[in-house]
Amino acid sequence: MPIFDSYLNMLQERRNLPGVEGSTDILLPNYDGFGFANLTPTISHWLGGPEFSAPVFSNIILDQFAPKYKRVVLLLVDALGYKQLTHLMEQGQAEFWKRKLNQSKLFPITSISPSTTASALTTIWTGTTPHEHGIIGYEMWVKSLGMVINTIVHSPITFWGDVGGLARAGFDPVSFLGLPALGELFTNSGIESHAFVPAGIANSGLSKMHHVGTQLHGYTAESDFLANMRDLLNARPNNPKFVYGYWSHVDSLMHRYGTTNERVTEQFRSFSEAFERIFLDKLEPWAREDTLFLLTADHGSVETPRNPAYELRLRPELTDMLVMQPTCEGRLPFLYVKPWQTEAVCQYFDQAWPGEFTLITRQQVLDLELLGRGVPNGDLANRIGDLVAIPHGNTYLWWVNKTNVMLGRHGGLHPDEMLVPLYALSLD
């Protein structure tokens, strides 16, 4: 059977949070061979590259693949959840992926935590967990800079239109992580590393952080993205290659319209058709030989209808007990609490949103290994906050000083956020 999900029940057993037993809307990340954090170590293993601190995939997954490949192509479709993809295939709305399934293998794996793009892509490009690389959320308190930063555009979180503005505070994206980039490690092992990303972010701080040693290819639309990636593989040089492609439109539309909206579904359908027509059908035989194609995502998503009850501008009693606005994600708020106010904050959540959030402490986050394991980033504890609010169902918090227009979100621990596909197609 091409869908390998026999271990899904095992993953779903990891639901327990302190004080909440057996919650069906919580799924903790797996870092032991069934998770997104195991992807880069496994790709390196297949290509003959270096080992990483995180393990490769479990043998339950690994045994379904060849021992080695000459080229690995990784297509990351931002926010394409595992349940979303399987539902689209069942409904005939992802026809290409359903048709190819008999020649493929599909595995559910867990995202990392926080289940968000900056954290997940840093995991891809360093081969480390968020616990190690320290990029934990879209908004993150950085003590050395004395500010909360936007980890995507590298600006202070309260500054609008100031892309890369952290440079004025001495922020250097290349050295900030203090870890070698995947491209450097692969280059040292004789492996070419290529990344196809939208031209608008090709020279961003996040790209500079991730793509040291990687050949960067900016694109304008799916046509040049897929044609250029195909041409790269069709070229004759025979050295090992890691080829990465990033597609953001599913995520962008999901945030605006919600996970199951027609606009999201149709975008993925049209991209998939272009992928087959422009990329797959025109690969030369030598480009297919010993080449593995993988489709995955950084996270899934949940639909979050607008609800003023979750807007902190209407909750001055709560914000008065916090040192500053929350950080991380609306679906995983980090709370920095004033001295002696921790119990009062917990009581406020219980009264304002009974049963809708579970609050855990910084130490519980670490004890649960929610962010992974390994040698912790030196600033990790400062970045987590005193309390972490874990939403149940489709709850969230909104603290941004603008109108809430988001109908879909991610970042939390709901299975629809946490489960992502590993769809593998051998091209030869």
Q: Which of 205, 209, 133 is nearest to 168 (CA)?
A: 205
Task: Report the mean per-residue pLDDT for the chain.
Answer: 95
Q: How confident is the model at residue 152 (pLDDT cuts 50, 70, 90)?
A: very high
Per the CB < 8 A criterion, the answer to whether 252 and 77 are in contact is: no
% pLDDT > 90, the chain: 89
Q: How confident is the model at residue 288 (pLDDT cuts 50, 70, 90)?
A: very high
State in Å, rounded, how far the first CA of the chain is from the last one: 20
- Give the single-character DSSP code of 386: S
| β strands within 2-115, DSSP E | 71-77, 104-110
Give CB contacts under 8 A, 24+ apart, made by 224-228.
225/196, 226/274, 226/275, 226/278, 226/279, 227/278, 227/279, 228/196
| Phi, psi dihedrals of residue 265, rounded to the nearest 5° | -60, -45
Per the CB < 8 A criterion, the answer to whether 306 and 404 are in contact is: yes
pTM: 0.96
- Cα–Cα distance measured from residue 269 to residue 272, given in angstroms and rounded to the nearest whole number: 5
pLDDT tens-digit readout, 53-73 = 999 999 999 999 999 999 999
Dihedral, CA of residue 59, residue 60, residue 63 and residue 69, to nearest 10: -80
DSSP letters, 100-165, are: GGGGEEEEEEE--SSBSHHHHHHHHHHS--HHHH---SSEEEETTTTEEEETTTTEETT-SS-TTG
> Please, what CATH class does the domain formed by 8-303+415-426 belong to?
alpha beta
Neighbouring residues of 384: CB distance < 8 A, sequence distance ≥ 6: 136, 334, 362, 365, 366, 371
Q: Which of 358, 352, 262, 252 is nearest to 307 (CA)?
A: 352
Q: What is the pLDDT of residue 19?
A: 66
Domain 308-408 of CATH type 3.10.290: no
pLDDT tens-digit readout, 184-201 = 999 999 999 999 999 988
CA distances from 179 to 101, 135, 215, 272, 304 (A): 37, 12, 19, 35, 36
The answer to whether domain 8-303+415-426 and domain 308-408 are alike in fold is: no
Q: What is the pLDDT of residue 18?
A: 73
Cis peptide before 173 (omega within 30 of 0): no
Q: Which of 282, 257, 233 is nearest to 72 (CA)?
A: 233
Q: What is the pLDDT of residue 20?
A: 64
What's the distance, CA 303 to chain centroid? 17
Domain locations along the chain = 8-303+415-426, 308-408
pLDDT tens-digit readout, 338-367 = 999 999 999 999 999 999 999 999 999 999
Q: Which of 208, 52, 34 is nearest to 128 (CA)?
A: 52
- Cα–Cα distance measured from residue 280 to residue 85, given in angstroms and rounded to the nearest whole number: 19
Residue 223: count other Cβ atoms within 10 Å of its Cβ: 12
Per the CB < 8 A criterion, the answer to whether 153 and 164 are in contact is: yes
pLDDT tens-digit readout, 240-285 = 999 999 999 999 999 999 999 999 999 999 999 999 999 999 999 9
Q: What is the pLDDT of residue 21?
A: 60
